[in-house]
Amino acid sequence: MAKKEKLQLDKLLEQALVKEEDKPYEVPSNWVWTRLENLVSVLGDGLHGTPIYSELGDYYFINGNNLNNGFIEFKDNTKKVHFKEFSKYKKELNDRTIFVSINGTLGNVAFYNNEKIILGKSACYFNIFENICKEYIIYLIKSEYFINYANTVATGSTIKNLSLKSMRECVIPLPPLPEQQRIVDSIKSLFDKLDRAKELVQKALDSFENRKSAILHKAFTGELTTKWREENGISFDSWKEFKIKDLAISLNQGWSPKCEGFPSVDYEKWGVIKTTAIQHMEFIEQENKQLPSSLVPREKHELKEGDVLITRAGPRIRVGVCCLVKQVRPRLLLCDKAYRFRAKEKLVIPEYIVFVLNTSDILDTINVMKTGISDSGVNLTLDGFLAIKLNIPSIVEQKEIVNILDNLLKNEQKAKELCDVIDNIDLMKKSILARAFRGELSTNNPNEESALELLKEIFRER
């Protein structure tokens, strides 16, 4: 009998171990490659019915978007249901259950912590065996290794769907149990340090943005230059209210022909800017597409220094974005999803009008007047834009305000550098996870018992 059991165990191990040619990459010699189905049980997806929601319901109905970094998030729009409606719903949830999103955004993950929930079909759940560190599996699923795998095998072009079969077949690097725990401890320690750094950087960034917003508000209410006016004998009565239509000349929108799928980098070749060339306070000429040689350029739309640009159509967040073209290469055309105008420089300098169009007050005004069925596609009407009212001081005070704000924007680069630091922190986390599952965190003990023995123990207990 013992011999028969050994033969059966050997066969199970042979089936569980990934063949040499199928191993994704090299891992330490006391690790093994196996499939997720050998480390978990009760793998299944959530409820496939349409629930009847009720404020008096006993259970929260959650989906993949409720799973975040190991925790279930109960959002404002999370609805309740009655459990009695779901007699076929599986009840194997315990403290070793984790949920993973398998529809839409893949790889969101959370522990089950005895919350009263019903799981929707956009997520699956499984129980991790007792002799596997559950945090190890959580971090593995959050890693780019798993996300890349999931996106590769998922079906669907717009909305990705990861099948349970594909989840079961995912190849997993498995170290010995003590090493799993050391990896988890190391990841937690490194992530904690990065999170503290990110928090400090975010506070500095928020502080800068708050100061910037306050200064811009003061600039265009006259408060910023109160002392300057006193010193120069200029009255606040010099400030006048104008509509944009009274300050702008040569207002037009551009042309959007079908262009090549690549930018024009040769100044002898014409290009048409994309709306992404227009950023708040910044013009990026490299954001363009080359005009096909078969089309005759409409030269009246060629951009010139001193043009004020503002996006007029597109996603809500991208409409109403304004910048000044301070310098520009030749043969670059305006697209038709943006307005372009020149400032009447007897009344206003272009630098001033661009600054004021980037204040939160004006951006809020523009946001209200956007029209469209959904946030993915709205328009800024010309009549509405031209009717916006701006406070305009004398030309000499405008120049003083612009000078002050230019000095402020020198610190804008510091803010961008802070944003880069935040992005780098996120990249560092991805790098840490990648190294963790290659055995590169310097935590592995090569003399430790092989993970093969761990697999044997799992099969004996099953």
CA pseudo-torsion sign 240, 246, 250, 256: positive
The closest of 454, 428, 438, 436 to 182, measured between CA atoms, is 436
**CB–CB of 110/72 below 8 Å?**
yes
Q: Which residue has the tokens 């780098």?
A: 424
> How far from chain centre, in Å, is Cα 1?
58
pLDDT at position 1, please? 41
Could you tell me the two tokens for 395? 């030309």
Domain 25-175+452-461 = CATH 3.40.50.300: no
Instruction: Identify the bridge partners of residue 333 per DSSP, sorted by sequence position.
Output: 272, 302
Residues in the chain, overall count: 462
Q: Which residue has the tokens 């929930």?
A: 117
Tell me the C-alpha to C-alpha distance, in Å, between residue 142 and each of 110, 176, 343, 400, 434. Answer: 10, 20, 51, 51, 10
- Sketch the domain layout of the chain as residue ranges: 25-175+452-461, 240-392
Query: For 405-426, how does the pLDDT look when each residue is reduced to its tens digit (9 = 90+)?
Result: 888 777 666 666 777 788 888 8
Model confidence, pTM: 0.67
pLDDT at position 187, please? 96
Phi, psi of 209 (to 5 degrees): -65, -40
Q: Residue 262 CB: number of other CB atoms within 10 A? A: 10
Look up the CATH number of domain 240-392. Answer: 3.90.220.20
Q: Going by C-beta distance under 8 Å and a sequence separation of 6 or more, which residues neighbour residue 32?
A: 17, 18, 174, 450, 451, 452, 455
Query: For 278-301, how does the pLDDT look when each residue is reduced to its tens digit (9 = 90+)?
Result: 999 899 999 999 999 999 999 999
CA pseudo-torsion sign 218, 222, 226, 229: positive
Could you tell me the two tokens for 325? 């073209």
- Residue 314 falls in which region: left (phi positive, over 0), alpha (psi -120 to 50) or beta: left
Domain pair 25-175+452-461 / 240-392, same fold: yes
Low-confidence ranges of the chain (pLDDT < 50): 1
